[in-house]
Amino acid sequence: MSAWADQIRHLQVTMLDFNNPHGWAVVESRFELRLGAPFRPQDVQVALYCDGEEVAVGNADQQGRWAVRVEGLRRPAEDLVFEAHARLSLKRARSERRPAYQLQAGVLAPVEAAATPRPARPADLALVMPEMKRLKPGNFWMGRSSHSHRVRFSRPLSVAATPVTQGLYEAVTGHNPSRFKGPKRPVEQVSFWEALEFCNALSALEGESPAYRLYEEEGRRCVEWLRSSTGYRLPTEAEWEFCAKAGREALYAGLAQLSDLGWYHDNAQGQTHPVGEKEPNEWGLYDLCGNVWEWCFDVWDEEAFNDRLGEVQVDPVVLKGPNPARRVRRGGCWLAFAPSCVVTHRFSGPAVQQTDDTGLRVVRTV
């Protein structure tokens, strides 16, 4: 939610008229939105405070401006502190930005405020954070057989070398939902929505702006991907396959033999295993095949690739489909047979589902 306020910049308070004998002033606030902000200036509610007391509330115009006449200002003008609150309120979520100004020599000057404290970073977070591999923008063939199509990525990507472990998940959230316990095992029994919440929480602890705006609409959970964010997030389905293939067209993630690189039905002995114990692919990424399915951000659409033939897809992601309550999962798991662990195999699950075969891997746009 704090990311919403981060879309508002240059919020200022200016006094238009105070030199009058009647004890009132016209005070104006103004702000700008960052490019690509997911709302309009008119959606922002502005409140004016004078010495800590709310004196007026209204909505900005299309230019991000709002002026109000403040009555009853009988104290010396130099003693008054005006504060503007820019608010975004959707359902139960709310975010604010609050600069304060004081009249000094006839001019409203900013009042220095104490910095908003960031969430405390767990002391052991660095010990459980995975290595992040930076990948350059590139092209690859996505899918297989008649559905194969060309995809291009326009920005570099930073990808976790392993799935999120139980140690990392517990350090960020304070709990561990997994069935097969072990700090170095992949976290599982995490729903798609819990995966998004984890990404936002990790971003906050690492000082990054959250990648997702989570809200409710008509009783349904909704998410908006804030693409300008460099915070932690789930990969798109295209990004996941790009990472898994690592520039090669092998059946599995970089190697021909699944047993060399993944835990699956034939060798997992009915459970997950600590991450990073098998061979990595060419880009140093582990456990992309087997161990746990990994959530992707895309809405599940079995026919998603049908309209992609004949032209290069740039940064593709499926945001709508016939099954909006289902999300893509990739990579196979500890109980899957080999065909389900092929890098081009597509699978899905209900977004609310928590199962002992599904976890996540984080990425960042850089």
Q: What percent of the chain has pLDDT over 90?
A: 56
Token pair 């908003």 is at which residue? Answer: 116
Which tokens sit at 113? 């405020």
pLDDT at 109: 61
User: Per-residue pLDDT for 123 more than 80?
Assistant: no
How high does pLDDT run on average in the chain? 84
For residues 363 and 353, the answer to whether their CB atoms sit within 8 Å is no
- Report residue 142 CA to chain centroid gap: 24
SS3 140: strand
SS3 127: helix
Classify the C-alpha dihedral 149-155-160-163 as positive or negative: negative
The radius of gyration computed from the CA coordinates of the chain, to the nearest angstrom, equals 25
Residue limits of CATH 2.60.40.10 in the chain: 2-111
Residue limits of CATH 3.90.1580.10 in the chain: 125-365
pLDDT at 94: 36
For residues 244 and 266, the answer to whether their CB atoms sit within 8 Å is no
pLDDT at 78: 57
* pLDDT tens per residue across span 288-330: 999 999 999 999 999 999 878 778 999 999 999 898 899 999 9
Sheet holding 323-330, edge to edge: 347-350, 323-330, 293-300, 358-359
Strands 149-152 and 313-314: parallel
Which tokens sit at 68? 């109000």
Mean pLDDT is lowest, of 59-73, 114-128, 207-221, for 114-128
Kindly write down the DSSP assignment for every residue of 152-164, as one continuous string: E--S-EEEESSPP
Identify the CATH number of the domain defined by range 2-111: 2.60.40.10
pLDDT at 100: 59
What average pLDDT does the segment 94-106 reach? 51
What average pLDDT does the segment 151-167 reach? 96
User: Per-residue pLDDT for 115 more than 70?
Assistant: no
More confidently predicted of 148 and 9: 148
Q: Can you give the pTM of this predicted structure?
A: 0.69
SS3 185: coil
Cα–Cα distance between 286 and 217 in angstroms, integer? 38
pLDDT at 193: 97
Cα–Cα distance between 48 and 100 in angstroms, integer? 10
* pLDDT tens per residue across span 170-179: 999 999 999 9
User: Per-residue pLDDT for 8 more than 70?
Assistant: no
Among the listed residues 228, 236, 287, the one whose alpha carbon sits nearest the alpha carbon of residue 260: 287
pLDDT band at 77 (very low <50, low <70, confident <90, very high): low
**CA distance readout (Å), 127 to 158, 311, 324, 364:** 19, 44, 37, 19
Cα–Cα distance between 36 and 201 in angstroms, integer? 23
User: Per-residue pLDDT for 97 more than 70?
Assistant: no
Query: One-letter amino acid identity for 228?
Result: S
pLDDT at 92: 30
Among the listed residues 251, 268, 265, 269, the one whose alpha carbon sits nearest the alpha carbon of residue 344: 251
Cα–Cα distance between 81 and 211 in angstroms, integer? 35
What average pLDDT does the segment 82-106 reach? 54
Spelled out in words, what is the top-level CATH class assigned to the domain 125-365?
Answer: alpha beta
pLDDT band at 273 (very low <50, low <70, confident <90, very high): very high
Query: In 10 A of CB 198, how many CB atoms?
Result: 21
Token pair 């006839």 is at which residue? Answer: 106
What average pLDDT does the segment 274-289 reach? 96
Q: Which residues is 172 bridged to in the sheet?
A: none
For residues 256 and 291, the answer to whether their CB atoms sit within 8 Å is no
